Amino acid sequence: MAQGEDFMPSERQCALCKAQYEPREVSHIVPKFVYKWLKSTSVTKVMRFGPEMNKRVQDGIKDYFLCEACEDRFGKYEATFASEIFHPFTKNNSHVKSYGDFMLQFAVSVSWRVLAYNKHRLHHFRGRHAEAVDATLKVWSDYLLGRCDGIGTHEMHLLPLCGIVECSSSNVPENINRYLRRVVEIDVVVSDKTAFTYAKLGPLILIGLIAYPDLFHWEGTKISSAGVFPSKDFGASSQLQDYIFSRCNRFAELEAGISERQLQKIKVSYEQNMDELEQSDTYKALLMDLELAKKLKA
């Protein structure tokens, strides 16, 4: 996806509040603190994304998207979520925390960004769920702007998937733990009956429902105005598992396409940072995959 910082328009309309504004800086679609965490817990301290695996980058998707007031609004949600939920959980996966309104506000702000940013970039809607997309954007926008108190059936679901140590499925991807713990990506997932936003924030997966008739598939994952995260027991649909497995396989394909030149750069970086290697989350995820592979072969 192209990033918008290469062109500075003189005036834009805020995607959320629709006010005209003079853009001074680009907005992150995925909150910046997620990318900072990803780099700080890696060995190489750089990132590689999607089809451009041969390109090292220091930041994620950005665009001229929000006015300063809306950017500040989202910034407050992000700061609280990062300090209360994200950073404690990524440091200690057994972290449990009570939450208030900030949790739902943060979740809606991210899911809204994913959908609003991708609405005209994803062509697989084309009649399927098109009305639901518009309705969802309106509900989420109204909630973020304080025009309503809730989001109805366009729910937010947060799954803490920090890794798999046991699995009965025979088709579990070899890189499942590296994907669950380390990948950051966004998507809008569509089938004949369902549609939802997908924001992979490292070991946390945020789902925003656009059209989803069978809400009973989600157990212990719904974000409310107050609650406890994570839930002791939670579950999701088999559709989500299939999608996650497909993304694991896609990332394996992309990583297989890294050039010899870039592989050499990665090797040099590892050799120069051997002291950090065993303490990195990258290394931990790899060990988890190796241990899971042994169990599946046993």
Amino acid found at 261:
R
Asked if 47 and 262 touch (Cβ cutoff 8 Å), the reply is no
- Residue 1's pLDDT is 41
Q: Could you write out the DSSP letters of every residue in 67-108?
A: -HHHHHHHHHHHHHHIIIIIHHHHH-TT--EEE-HHHHHHHH
- Residue 3's pLDDT is 46
- The tally of CA atoms less than 13 A away on the side-chain side of residue 26 is 18
- Residue 46's pLDDT is 85
**What's this model's pTM, rounded to 2 decimal places?**
0.91
Q: What would the two tokens of residue 24 be? A: 């001074």
Q: What would the two tokens of residue 61 be? A: 């998707």
Separation between Cα atoms, residue 146 and residue 140, nearest integer Å: 10
Q: What would the two tokens of residue 139 be? A: 């509900």
Q: What is the pLDDT along the chain (298 residues), one digit of tens a residue?
A: 444 445 556 789 999 999 999 988 889 999 999 999 999 999 888 888 888 888 888 888 898 999 999 999 999 999 999 999 999 999 998 899 999 999 999 999 999 999 999 987 776 666 678 889 999 999 999 999 999 999 999 999 999 998 886 776 678 999 999 999 999 999 999 888 899 999 999 999 999 999 998 888 899 999 999 999 998 888 888 889 999 999 999 999 999 999 999 999 989 988 888 888 888 999 999 999 999 988 888 7
Q: Which residues of 136-172 are buried (b: 16+ CB within 10 A; e: fewer)?
A: bbebbbebbeeeeeebeebbbbbbbbbbeeeeeeeeb
Separation between Cα atoms, residue 275 and residue 298, nearest integer Å: 32
- Residue 126's pLDDT is 60
Asked if 245 and 172 touch (Cβ cutoff 8 Å), the reply is yes
Give, in degrees to the nearest 5, the angle at Cα 233 between 231 and 238. Answer: 110
From the number of C-beta atoms within 10 Å of its C-beta (0-12, 13-18, 19+), residue 10 rates as exposed
Phi-psi region for residue 152, left (φ > 0), alpha (ψ -120 to 50) or beta? left
- Residue 235's pLDDT is 86
Separation between Cα atoms, residue 179 and residue 188, nearest integer Å: 18
Q: Could you write out the DSSP letters of every residue in 145-185?
A: TTS-S--TTS-EEEEE----S----TT--TTHHHHHHH-EE
- Domain borders along the chain are 4-297
- Residue 2's pLDDT is 41
- Residue 183's pLDDT is 95
**Nearest CA-CA partner of 28 in 59, 67, 69, 70:** 59
Element spanning 260, H or E:
helix 260-272
Q: What would the two tokens of residue 199 be? A: 């924001």
